[in-house]
Amino acid sequence: MGAKVITITSGKGGVGKTTTTANLGVALARLGKKTVVIDADIGLRNLDVVMGLENRIVYDLVDVVEGRCRLRQAMIKHKQFPDLYLIPAAQTRDKTSVSPADMIHITDKLRSDFDFIIIDSPAGIERGFRNAVAPADEVLIVTNPEVSAVRDADRIVGLLEAEHKNPGKLILNRLKPAMVKKGEMLSADDVVDILALEIIGIVPEDDHVIPASNSGIPVTLNENSHAGVAFRNIARRLTGEDVALMDLETNSGFFQRLAKFFGGR
Amino acid sequence: MAGFFDRMLGRNSSNKGSSTTAKDRLKFVLLHERVKIAPEKMREMKAEIVAVIAKYVPGIDPDTVDIAIEQSDRYENKLVAEIPFSKTRAEAAAESDSHDDLSVSDDALVEADSASEMDADLKFHTDETIPNPTIQNSVDVLDEAETDEVDD
Ligand SMILES: Nc1ncnc2c1ncn2[C@@H]1O[C@H](COP(=O)(O)OP(=O)(O)OP(=O)(O)O)[C@@H](O)[C@H]1O
Ligand SMILES: [Mg+2]
């Protein structure tokens, strides 16, 4: 029945939800999927700048909810990827201007015309989180290999249960393989073991990410970026393709890893 | 045992950096948050359980009692109690003689005697919340204590 609605959430703030949403949107559009990304972080609009679309906003999500415009009027079409649209958040309002029922209503109107609807959730576990998660067919929980982020991710798992949602899938962002190797950072295995969730992607810490958001060109368009490749792999997995997890998802080169793998410890 | 990612990253499984501490701390805090039993409540419960068992079983040292929640996955919780109690040397020797299924060598017997200690594992399952603990498994418990003693 048309689009799959995927919500990107985390509990803890600043772990990479907006970065993930922007990159998955672009990567899916590049795979030829008709995609809308929705910024549900009302009052702290950000997805627009990360995607380089901030100058084109006329109407926003709250305008749609309050009937000041039609849904189509609030959808900004990406110039480079005509299959990609953004619905921006309102900047001058708060989370209570939108209800979970509004989000379900809006996504239901979009489902028949799109393949993917990706929702960028605000941090926290309050109203904004519930708005973002209400219409989700699938929830992706972004976390970092760090105690507070993992703990908050576990809270989200519990809340999804309470909302009778499918268990989320995990995106581990900002992993530093060199630190993992030294035993100074939780590994992907550790985090999967602790949270008991399926993992759908490992995104390394990558110096290309900040320049990408500086210029409003998502990092997945940078062919030299490991994080970019990782986001592309997640997008492919979302389309049902079977992409092995470790390929290119760490900082170390493939041959380096091979050498380690065969050359013993 | 090193996991798949660890091996791919060449991480030494004997490595005990701060990540091991992070993992242990997270496991402990999440365990208690998931079952909604604070560590302090566990301590209270432990004291009460020990008091009850001590009425029937002599030689219990509360400091050696360990009662903890174990979680195989998010939905399967287990309260695992390890409650060692001491016996006098004569009692232990007399009991060992009467057990035909325990064919222990003389050397091992001496060791077991000098340790003069026996662990009983009380295991009961919980589902989200902990029901009133019943000790109806006590027969199984003693059998288990005889067989998996070697680990410790
Ligand atoms: N893989 C990465 N490598 C390096 N920097 C990253 C990576 N992922 C995210 N960042 C940086 O981390 C910061 C926070 O990212 P982002 O805004 O996507 O998080 P968020 O979860 O949406 O935050 P909030 O909770 O405030 O909405 C940004 O500066 C971003 O550039
Ligand atoms: Mg954000």
Q: What is the CATH number of the domain that holds A89?
A: 3.40.50.300
How far A125 CA sits from the closest chain B CA (Å)?
A: 16
Residue A7: Cβ-neighbour burial (10 angstroms; 0-12, 13-18, 19+): buried
Contacts of residue B5, defined as CB under 8 A and 6 or more positions apart, other chains included, come to: A187, A188, A189, A202, A246
In the structure, what pLDDT confidence band is assigned to residue B99 with cuts at 50, 70 and 90?
low
Residue ranges with strand state E in B56-97: 66-73, 76-82, 85-86
Ligand 2 geometric centre to CA of A47 (Å): 7
B136 and B109 in one domain? yes
Residue A233's domain comprises 4-262
B54 and B102 in one domain? no
ipTM of the complex: 0.84
In a domain, B141, yes or no: yes
B97 and B131 in one domain? yes
In a domain, B106, yes or no: yes
**Chain A residues inside the 8 Å CB shell of B17:** 182-184
In a domain, B12, yes or no: no
| Predicted local distance difference test score (pLDDT) of residue A197 | 94
B60 and B111 in one domain? no
Q: What is the per-residue pLDDT across B2-48, written as a single tens digit (0 to 9) for each? A: 455 555 555 544 557 999 999 999 999 999 999 889 989 999 999 99
B126 pLDDT exceeds 70? no
Q: How many structural domains does chain B have?
A: 2
Q: Quote the CA–CA distance of B9 and A199 in Å, as a whole number.
A: 17
B103 and B127 in one domain? yes
Of the ranges A19-33, A84-98, B50-64, B70-84, which one carries the lowest mean pLDDT score?
B70-84
Angstrom distances, CA of residue A40 to CA of A91, A95, A121, A152, A217: 11, 8, 5, 19, 20
Q: Say if ligand 1 is within 6 A of residue A18 CB.
A: yes
B55 and B23 in one domain? yes
Looking at chain B, the whole-number percentage of residues with pLDDT higher than 90 is: 30
Q: What is the DSSP letter of A166?
A: P
The reply to whether residue B22 touches residue A257, judged by beta carbons under 8 angstroms, is no
Look at strands A84-87 and A76-77 and give their pairing: antiparallel
Positions of chain A with pLDDT under 70:
1, 246-265
B102 and B70 in one domain? no
**In Å, how far from its chain's centre is CA A191?**
18
Residue B71's domain comprises 18-84
Last-in-domain residue among B68, B84, B100: B84
**Chain A residues inside the 8 Å CB shell of B14:** none
Structure tokens at A11: 């509990």
DSSP secondary structure of B105-130: -HHHHHHHHHHTEE--EEEEEEBSBP
In a domain, B74, yes or no: yes
The reply to whether residue B9 touches residue A252, judged by beta carbons under 8 angstroms, is yes
Do residues A21 and A118 lie in contact, with contact meaning Cβ atoms separated by under 8 Å? yes
Using alpha carbons only, how large is chain B's radius of gyration in Å? Answer: 19
**Residue A35 host element (H or E):** strand A35-39
Last-in-domain residue among B34, B69, B84: B84
Q: How many structural domains does chain A have?
A: 1
How far A261 CA sits from the closest chain B CA (Å)?
A: 6
In a domain, B24, yes or no: yes
In a domain, B1, yes or no: no
Q: Give the torsion through C-alpha atoms of A209, A214, A220, A225, to 10 deg.
A: -40
Of all protein residues, whose CA lies closest to atom 14 belonging to ligand 1?
A14
In a domain, B119, yes or no: yes
Ligand 2 geometric centre to CA of A63 (Å): 20
Do residues A132 and A40 lie in contact, with contact meaning Cβ atoms separated by under 8 Å? yes
Q: What is the mean pLDDT of chain B?
A: 67
Last-in-domain residue among B40, B68, B84: B84
B117 and B66 in one domain? no
In a domain, B13, yes or no: no
Q: Quote the CA–CA distance of A237 and A175 in Å, as a whole number.
A: 19
